[in-house]
Amino acid sequence: MRKLLAFTVTMALVAAVAAYLAWTQERPVAHYLSDLRITLAVNEGLPADRGNLVGIQPELFPADYQSLERLHLKLSAYLQKARDLGLINHKTVVVLPEHIGTWLMLTGEKNEVYQALHVKDAMNWLSVSNPLPFARAWISATGDSRTDDAYLRMKAAGMARDYQVLFGGLAKEFGVTLVAGSIALPNPSVSQGQLQVGHGALYNASVVFNADGLPVGQPQRQLYPIYDERGFIEPGDENVVSVVDTPAGRLGVLVGSDSWYPDNYRKLNEQGAQLIAVPAFVLGRDTWDRPWRGFKSVSTPTEISLKPEELSEGEAWRRLTLISQPPVSQASAGMSVFLRGQFWDLGTAGHSFVSSQGQVSADGEARGARLLNLWL
């Protein structure tokens, strides 16, 4: 009797494990209607032969990332709108927001991930439906937040491949230079024209793609990750701020609040940067209008006298981003572009803006995808 009972229990366990493993392999694609509309919010300068900066502030949701085809549909619709408005040419530099590539961790997941109400529930579904990859990634994770690290690390190779296919493909399709926001990857680098992942810590990095669809130079790592991400994102080498050549001029990239640090602009000046792109992201639905909480990293420049709560978050971004403000920045123009949308219960904030000749022109609307253009 005991043997029969043990056999029955064993078979039930085997059946349950088999059913669970079969469930993890199911990836049905739910119907989803994307909003492909985008509004031209800022249009500065006059057309010339020097090119232009085009910023795309998308409105994205988890379901947009269910497949590369779905995300491509939305982003290409935004770029097509810019083309229809006459804003795309061979000297155009397109700027996308911070972490637009990081959410590629959601690609090809189960519907429960996209339909969750809270980010915690969505991440639980993500780990439960990828048990072995998550376990391997958790063992390899570094930093204080091993779980957050593991969510990104377990799909890093696929994320890097999808990032290049998607954003390199868009650059080639529209014949532009594209600053592909940023993506969090383990020790990313470019080798033989391909974005590669390595071992060790995660970095939040931005890649620029040429009109031939290939990366230009090495990924620019974020130098000063915000407090909320320092448990799993490693700071980049603060001495490495690089500039790449584009048809519109020499371009530097500062990720997020790296744009608040005067010394970064001096490093770009030394390399002759003429344009500066700032992919950015602000968490929290109402954060933009709330009092600024101060520098979001452990390092605060001694020459900055601005005090926390002295002004709003949005005013601080526009005050501290020093593009085209000599003598600190000798660049002629730049653009800060924010990620917008709703990722479960995580709201987003940020109104994208352009900087030229020491002046700032900003988008004042909170909802909907926004397009910004600056003729050089």
Residues 272 and 322 in one domain: yes
Is the pLDDT higher at 120 or at 285? 120
Residues 228 and 331 in one domain: yes
Binning pLDDT at 50, 70 and 90, where does residue 360 land?
confident
Residues 53 and 134 in one domain: no
CATH no. for residue 217? Answer: 3.60.110.10
Residues 183 and 277 in one domain: yes
Quick one: average pLDDT of 66-83? 97
pLDDT at site 228? 84
Domain that holds residue 60: 31-107+158-375
Rg (CA), the chain: 22
pLDDT(43) > 50 = yes
pLDDT at site 20? 44
CB 233 within 8 A of CB 149: no
Binning pLDDT at 50, 70 and 90, where does residue 74 land?
very high
pLDDT at site 80? 98
Residues 245 and 286 in one domain: yes
Quick one: average pLDDT of 248-276? 96
- Whole-number mean pLDDT of the chain? 90
Q: How many CB atoms lie within 10 A of CB 11?
A: 10
> Minimal CA–CA distance to 164: which of 123, 110, 126, 219?
219
Residues 227 and 138 in one domain: no
Residues 141 and 265 in one domain: no
Residues 204 and 339 in one domain: yes
Using the 3D structure, point to which of 133, 154, 175 is the last residue of a domain.
154
pLDDT at site 219? 97
What predicted TM-score, i.e. pTM, was given to this entire model? 0.91
Residues 162 and 293 in one domain: yes
Residues 93 and 5 in one domain: no
Residues 51 and 163 in one domain: yes
pLDDT(51) > 60 = yes
Please give the Cα distance from 229 to 302 (Å, whole number): 23
Residues 122 and 228 in one domain: no
Instruction: Count how many domains the chain has.
Output: 2
Please give the Cα distance from 60 to 346 (Å, whole number): 12
Binning pLDDT at 50, 70 and 90, where does residue 33 land?
confident
Binning pLDDT at 50, 70 and 90, where does residue 307 land?
confident
| Percent above pLDDT 90 for the chain | 73
